[in-house]
Amino acid sequence: MQDSVNGKKPRKGLKISLIAGMCAIVLAGGIGVATAPSWAQRPVESDAKTPVRTSPGLGAPVIKPLELGVTPTDGANEVNPAIPAVVKAGNGKIKSVTLNDGKGVAVPGTVSADGSTWTASEQLKFDTNYTFDYTVGDGAGRETHKTEQFHTVVAANEANAWTYIGDGKTVGVAQPVEIDFSEPVTNKAAVEKAIKITTTDGRTGAFHWYSDTKVRYRPETFWTANTSVTVDMELFGVDFGGGQIGNFNKKFVMNIGDKKVAIADAEAKTFDVYINDVKSQHWAVTMGDARFPSAPGYLVLMEHQRRAHFVASTIGLKPGDPADYGELDVEYATRLTPSGEFIHGAPWAAQYFGNTNISHGCIGMPLDGAAWVFNNMGIGDTVQVINSAGEPALVTDGFQDWNIPWAQYANA
């Protein structure tokens, strides 16, 4: 065969040489405009305009998928308001977060140092509908925006509590800490764990549950005189059991005064007061008679009434009963039990002081003696009734904590 010019056959060597020369140009000077492939004629595109890569692509980095976590979850109900509200962008960054309550009030929050997590910096409220509005971005700059809602625990499952002693009050060495709950507590271990009780002298004690709504705390023996007890209740968000959630935190200090203990001897008909274990006062008295003997054991002073009005029918006495006294006004009354035992002035019984018990369980004293107790002994001080044939008061009839053996008290 001849070529087109002179009829000669084409030479392969010349063609190979031309191709080799072209390659040399490419190697020496880079990809020429005319000879470069199409992908090399423009900048490498960002992954922001392409689907998320799960494996290395040609000339483009791998972008890890965004992992989004939000607490509480969208549509959640009965959310415990103690649970922190959080938006977390795994493999991404927080762009903006707004958390509003039903009235449009924003909940403040902070973003972590690495920009991946927003956390509310205030506690949420009970029975409130919240709206989350947030925007997050992945490593390629793509943004995701969402709006979500949740509702916190409703009022019917909101549990409260109150204490017998107010903050800063000074009480006697026999005053237990008492906490009363608005709803039954079945998760008692969790509630006890959330209540921290400390003393300035390092004394420790134990909780004793009298019911699902009443708990007390005391040491094995009386508090140390002239110390203080701090009660720190971190009960907000604590699950009381039965769907009830604690709605408060409270901290208070109970100051302990001098040790004031009176001994009322039903056999000797005497009343002796000891202050810091030193005898201070002595009176002859009258106490409960054979039908209504005074309750033996420790009786903790509860309140003072400068004048009190007693009605016999309130303790079951009816007209015609020899013990019926009708209605009676007394002075300087100091309550020992809610059921009706008092220390009070009884000047009409002066002839019986020191020799005969004629009362209905109360400790009847000369007027000056009752006035001294009224003015010098207070809540948390105690009277120990001895040598009485009566039955101890019910454990819930006032503060009968010291009449329960320690081993029993500390394990209930």
Catalytic residues: 344, 362
Residue position matching structure tokens 């006062």:
281
Number of neighbours of residue 214 by Cβ within 10 angstroms: 15
Rounded CA separation 325/311 (Å): 8
Rounded CA separation 188/204 (Å): 19
- C-alpha pair distances (Å), 137 with each of 55, 69, 147, 382: 20, 13, 15, 68
Rounded CA separation 274/279 (Å): 4
Q: Write the DSSP string, 116-180.
A: -EEEESS---SS-EEEEEEEEEETTS-EEEEEEEEEEPPGGGEE-EEESS-TT-EE-TT--EEEE
Burial-class residue 202 by CB neighbours within 10 Å (0-12, 13-18, 19+): exposed
Tell me phi and psi for residue 135, to 5 degrees: -130, 130
Rounded CA separation 28/16 (Å): 18
Number of neighbours of residue 367 by Cβ within 10 angstroms: 15
Q: What is the 3-state secondary structure (H, E, C) of 42-102?
A: CCCCCHHHCCCCCCCECCECCCCCCEEEEECCCCEEEECCCCCCEEEEECEEEEEEEEECC
Residue 93 β-bridge partners: 137
CA angle 225, 175, 250 (to 5 degrees): 105
Question: Which residues does 323 contact at the CB level (< 8 Å), separation at least 6?
Answer: 291, 292, 312, 317, 360
CA angle 51, 53, 54 (to 5 degrees): 135
